[in-house]
Amino acid sequence: MNLKIGVIKGDGIGPEIVTEAMKVLDKVAKRYGHNIEYRQLLMGGASIDVHGVPLTDETVAEAKSCDAVLMGSIGGNTSTSPWYKLEPSKRPEAGLLRIRKELNLFANLRPAILYDELKGACPLKEEITEGGFDLMIMRELTGGLYFGERKTEEVDGVMTAFDSLTYNENEIRRIAKRAFDIAMKRRKKVTSVDKANVLDSSRLWRKVVEEVAKDYPEVTLEHMLVDNSAMQLVKDPKQFDVILTENMFGDILSDEASMITGSIGMLASASLNETKFGLYEPSGGSAPDIAGQGIANPIATILSAAMMLRFSFDLDKEADAIEASVAKVLKDGYRTIDIMSEGKTQIGTARMGDEIAANI
Amino acid sequence: MNLKIGVIKGDGIGPEIVTEAMKVLDKVAKRYGHNIEYRQLLMGGASIDVHGVPLTDETVAEAKSCDAVLMGSIGGNTSTSPWYKLEPSKRPEAGLLRIRKELNLFANLRPAILYDELKGACPLKEEITEGGFDLMIMRELTGGLYFGERKTEEVDGVMTAFDSLTYNENEIRRIAKRAFDIAMKRRKKVTSVDKANVLDSSRLWRKVVEEVAKDYPEVTLEHMLVDNSAMQLVKDPKQFDVILTENMFGDILSDEASMITGSIGMLASASLNETKFGLYEPSGGSAPDIAGQGIANPIATILSAAMMLRFSFDLDKEADAIEASVAKVLKDGYRTIDIMSEGKTQIGTARMGDEIAANI
Ligand SMILES: CC(C)[C@H](C(=O)O)[C@@H](O)C(=O)O
Ligand SMILES: CC(C)[C@H](C(=O)O)[C@@H](O)C(=O)O
């Protein structure tokens, strides 16, 4: 098979971790007889440095011509990096938001899994996490506060800022369907998170989600307020299967969910549109403080590449092979510093990539 | 001293827990020679049942005539209670939102404290919470998404919902000042939480907070994105002293923060305006599932009454007496069911009130 993959190395640890994911993909290609064509795409700070903007029209077109995009991470230190002296629409993150919108990547999937081998790093007590947990956040990614109109202006001499939060029934329906589809392949439960006791957008959200639920009689639907959800994630993460929510709530809850696993360096994510196309990236950030040191954990990016093979190319066997290799490497006791614990073997970014590639 | 206190018993466990707080207040009045005049105010479901609306103009006027208001909790089971068949503006929570606005209660203080005696109930591992933590959330309570214009209407045949998020510099400045004032009496650190990489309101927030900070050279100011904050609360709550944030982010983060203490039944809160007036309530909800059983934990409400004595009446000695009594009762091993653990004495709501009153 011919795979045309766009590669956004991005900023901070991005280039290091993406290099390892490509190493693993190359091994998969060799072993299973595929042909990969990579297209390097500049985005974020890396694009600002070259083009003065975080994403060019050419890069958008180039990304659209690919079958899928693998991304590292975007952004730098907001206090010290010169990128953050630019106006908001020119900063690194604006590139990420624009590509989500341009490619219509409305469905963001972020799994939060407690790996048995890494329980030690989980901040929650063992009585709460016993038996592990495995939840999937389905976050709407191209609507809501992120893409509403905004402005800052003087009103009667007082500086005033406005943001707006809009959702229409079609936007809600398509993401809800995705959540129920995924739930059907999992434990058949959807928890839809909103703030329906305050927001009109949440009340419409709830109504449309209930309509969609009728087409999935086997799936249990539950509604939960966002404030309660932030509590329940800490109190009893095992109660969740698929969490369906809008863009801003999803941003907050998916980060909370990844932190309660204790090993964010292990968590992949996918941003999908209506077709097979997707952008795949690790859940963690660009970690500028450790960039260039060769110590970042590449596993989340490698698992994102596995997600890409599965979702965008239907290469399940190949994705399984990557995931099995990651499991074996952990079992063999190899750890990057972020997941290191007593008695294990600490290795760097490149060596972790080597070990995972070697098993494939 | 004459204290004129409005009392909103509210819904669910509200009446039970407020009764115990009044028991303790009465003992304080007797012991320290004060005279308390209570005004019972109907709000939420309790008001709907009598007046058909969650808050009447008369009740607002009555509340304004008091020196302070003590509240239980508002709202019922959203799936089964008939209150939730009403249109949104007639539901119990609408009363709470309206009273916050009418009384201009813009500053919501929610402490999250890990009580040494109750560490066992904390969901976080001991290595994270060792030595305890004590943070204060300062949440803006009368602006943002909660009070913006909203509507739901067809746009080109598609049902569309709009909410809006507005802050002006004055609203931000007054809440920021409160946060810095409180920080001066604590560990002199303010973490201002926003989403400045996306929202205009957050960028204005950050700018105004930085201006206010100049008047408090002793206080360390740090900015943190809301998604990162949701992670850091779980990863390392000890890093925080005062968390300053807008209404919706504060709703989410303060619930998360109270849950990581493991004993939400212990957490008081205050909602203040520019004067000494305040509304005091427990952080937990109305818990309709256990209402009327005499098992709810009244301590958060009793500690809210202590906060009231301190903030609204400057009765520090009396507030200290309540807090000391709560500490003693815990030390003596008395527990309601929500904070029960092996070897302790489980008691009900009324008995807990009796024990705390007895020590004063
Ligand atoms: C970088 C930022 C704009 C982005 C977001 O808020 O969506 C990030 O936090 C994420 O979750 O992918
Ligand atoms: C009941 C609800 C409207 C309220 C809020 O969201 O402010 C509650 O969650 C709170 O935090 O006091």
- Per-residue pLDDT band for B116 (boundaries 50, 70, 90) equals confident
Taking an 8 Å cut-off on Cβ atoms, the answer to whether A152 and B204 are in contact is: yes
Q: How far is the CA of B251 from the centre of ligand 2 (A)?
A: 7
Residue B196 has pLDDT above 90, yes or no: yes
| pLDDT band at residue B265 under the 50/70/90 scheme | very high
> What total of structural domains would you count in chain B?
2
Q: What is the pLDDT of residues A217-235, one digit of tens each?
A: 999 999 999 999 999 999 9
Residues A197, A189: contact at Cβ < 8 Å? no
Partner-chain contact B199 A150, CB within 8 Å:
yes
What was the pLDDT predicted at B310?
95
- Residue A38 within a domain: yes
Contact A248/B at CB under 8 A: yes
Q: What percent of chain A has pLDDT over 90?
A: 96
Give the model's pLDDT for residue B117.
85
Could you write out the three-class secondary structure of chain A? CEEEEEEEEECCCHHHHHHHHHHHHHHHHHHHCCEEEEEECCCCHHHHHHHCCCCCHHHHHHHHCCCEEEEEECCCCCCCCHHHHCCHHHCHHHHHHHHHHHCCCCEEEEEEECCHHHHHHCCECHHHHCCCCEEEEEEECCCHHHCCCEEEEEECCEEEEEEEEEEEHHHHHHHHHHHHHHHHCCCCEEEEEECCCCCHHHHHHHHHHHHHHCCCCCCEEEEEEHHHHHHHHHHCHHHCCEEEECHHHHHHHHHHHHHHHCCHHHCEEEEECCCCCEEEEECCCCCHHHCCCCCCCCHHHHHHHHHHHHHHHCCHHHHHHHHHHHHHHHHCCEECHHHCCCCCEECCHHHHHHHHHHCC
A227 is catalytic: yes
pLDDT range class, residue A245, cuts 50, 70, 90: very high
Let me know whether B225 and B311 are in one domain.
no
Contact (CB, 8 A) for B136 and B238: no
Identify the three-state secondary structure at position B88: helix
Residue A118 resides in a domain:
no
Query: Which one of the ligands is nearest to B254 CA?
Result: 2
Which of A251, A267, A283 has most ligand 1 atoms within 8 Å of CB, for mutation? A251
Residue A134, strand partner residues? A113
The residue among A260, A290, A318 that closes a domain is A260
Residues A151 and A24 in one domain: no
> Where residue A79 falls among pLDDT bands split at 50, 70, 90?
confident
- Residues B72-95 have a mean pLDDT of 93
For residue B5, is pLDDT > 90?
Answer: yes
CATH number at residue B136: 3.40.718.10
Q: Which of B235, B260, B285 is the last residue of a domain?
A: B260
Note the ligand closest to the C-alpha atom of B199.
1
Q: Which of A260, A290, A310 is the last residue in one of the domains? A: A260
Task: Tell me the pLDDT band of B79, cut-offs 50, 70 and 90.
Answer: confident
Tell me whether residue A116 is in a domain: no
Asked if A264 and A258 touch (Cβ cutoff 8 Å), the reply is yes
pTM metric for this prediction: 0.96
Given B155, B163, B198, which is nearest A199 (Cβ)?
A: B163
- Alpha-carbon distance values, B194 to A230, B134, B156 (Å): 17, 21, 34
- Arithmetic mean of pLDDT over chain A: 96
CA of B141 to the centre of ligand 2 (A): 10
What are the tens digits of pLDDT across the range A261-307?
998 999 999 999 999 999 999 999 999 999 999 999 999 999 999 99
Please report whether residue A111 resides in a domain: no
Indicate whether A137 and A235 sit together in one domain.
Answer: yes
| Nearest alpha carbon, ligand 2 atom 2 | B93
Q: Same domain, yes or no, for A141 and A245?
A: yes
Distance of alpha carbon A353 from alpha carbon A329, whole angstroms? 10
Residues B16 and B97 in one domain: yes
Please check whether residues B95 and B134 belong to one and the same domain: no
Residue-wise pLDDT tens digits, B205-219? 999 999 999 999 999
Give B51 Cα–ligand 1 centroid separation in angstroms. Answer: 46
A146 and B CB contact within 8 Å: yes
Shared domain check, B91 and B167: no
Q: What is the pLDDT of residues A103-158, one digit of tens each?
A: 999 999 999 999 888 988 899 999 999 989 999 999 999 999 999 999 999 999 99
In which domain, by residue range, is A71 found?
1-106+268-360
Across chain B, mean pLDDT equals 96
Q: Do residues A248 and A132 both lie within one domain?
A: yes
Look-up of token digits 């469905």: A107
Residue at A117 is within a domain: no
Same domain for A137 and A254, yes or no, is: yes
